[in-house]
Structure 1
Amino acid sequence: MTDRLWYAAYGSNISPERLACYLGGGRPAGATRDYPGCRDTTPPDERVPLELPGAVFFGWQSPTWGGGVAFYDPDASGRALVTAYRVGADQLADIWAQEMHRQPGADLDLDLLVRHGSLVAGPGRYERLLVVDEYGSQPVVTFTFPPGHRPVENPPSLAYAETIVRGLEETHGLSADVAQGYVASLAPAA
């Protein structure tokens, strides 16, 4: 099997500028944390806007962003707008590690992931890798909360929400109003 896949980003990584901090290292605008970057800092081969079944919601309390962050619920009704980036399995493993505040460097068994459809590494907020689709004969993979560990809903900080809006404008071609409306629809009711 190939070591290339599509990483489906639905939160702040929907913004290519934000994803660049995971790939090459750095601190995204509005965040309070620096990222070490991936072993392979090569930009994605391609990126495509996709829509997945399921829903995105904001939850947890991020020390990096000061509010809720996005989670994907594949079992919920709705639609999830994502930016899919064509990256290497090692890059996805390093992005995933950084999301969990771990150092990059562990390998990902892409064959095992594809064979089982998901892998759960623990109870942490993004500890489940999930094959959600296929695009161009390559798996589309994302990460989210493990079964039974759905985070409590919590609205995002303005900086986090604006990062997603900018990403939707850039990668999906949405107007600012439409992108803001989509992001607002994900936040818990007051």
Structure 2
Amino acid sequence: MIWYVSYGSNLLAERFHSYLTGSDATGPFGAHPSAPWTGLPSEDRWLWIDHALYFAGVSQRWTGSSAFVSPEIGSERSLAHAYLIEDSQFAHLAAIENAVEAVPLVAPDSIAVGTCAVLQIDTQGDTFRGKYDALLRLPDINGTPAVTVTSSSVRERGTPADRYLDTIRRGIDSSPFDIDADTYLAQAITRSATIFVP
């Protein structure tokens, strides 16, 4: 088992579940193939991570920029929704996020907390392929490894699409924390112009 820690549109549980159960093109999140095992997460929890949220690149699904977190630990924290899932489900998720058939994953225990391992992904072709190419190890949750995916470099700057922001906003509003979603997202958009990934 592994904790997948989300920070973008997957803050919304309904959206995250589409990665596991599959969805068709007429659904609100578009077509997704189902995971090898379609069971829903064993547990989920909300938390804050010490990695700043920003937007960059171009999303094939949403058209505007996608959400990422800085791989560097910093003073600006991001809201996150963690899901306890099977290893095979996480491998499926990583492949879908990177628009490839499969991603050779690195064992979380081989990565120090607060650091990344760059995944070996063929990024040739479309600009959205391989954009989540960094596996970021986060502090364990109840003794179980916790990870997320982000980018090993900052892609072209841009603005997230309204419907993408709306999905993230719904996720924020479903959290147990008292957060002004519009302010939180506006701060991330502003931060996107200055963030640096070594």
Identify the structure with the greater strand proportion.
Answer: 1
Given that 1:90 and 1:108 are in contact with CA atoms closer than 8 Å, whether structure 2 keeps it comes out as no
- TM-score (ref. length: structure 1): 0.85
Separation in 1 of the partners of 2:189 and 2:95? 26
1:107 Cα offset (Å): 6.8
Q: Could you say which residue in structure 2 is the equivalent of 1:179?
A: 181
- TM-score (ref. length: structure 2): 0.81
Given that 1:113 and 1:131 are in contact with CA atoms closer than 8 Å, whether structure 2 keeps it comes out as yes
Q: Could you say which residue in structure 1 is the equivalent of 2:51?
A: 54
Moved over 4 A (4+): 106-109
Identity of aligned residues (%): 30
Pairs within 5 Å for 1:36-185: 36-75=33-72, 76-103=74-101, 108=105, 112-117=107-112, 118-121=116-119, 122=121, 124-146=130-152, 149-174=153-178, 178-185=180-187
1:170 Cα offset (Å): 1.2
Q: Could you say which residue in structure 1 is the equivalent of 2:19?
A: 22
Separation in 1 of the partners of 2:176 and 2:64? 24
Q: Deviations over 1:71-110 (max 9, x none)?
A: 0103244111100111111111111100011236x6745x
Identify the structure with the greater helix proportion.
Answer: 1
**In structure 2, the residue corresponding to 1:67 is in which secondary structure?**
coil
1:134 Cα offset (Å): 1.1
Q: Deviations over 1:142-182 (max 9, x none)?
A: 00112xx212232211110011111111133446xx12211
Amino acid in the other structure paired with 1:184: A
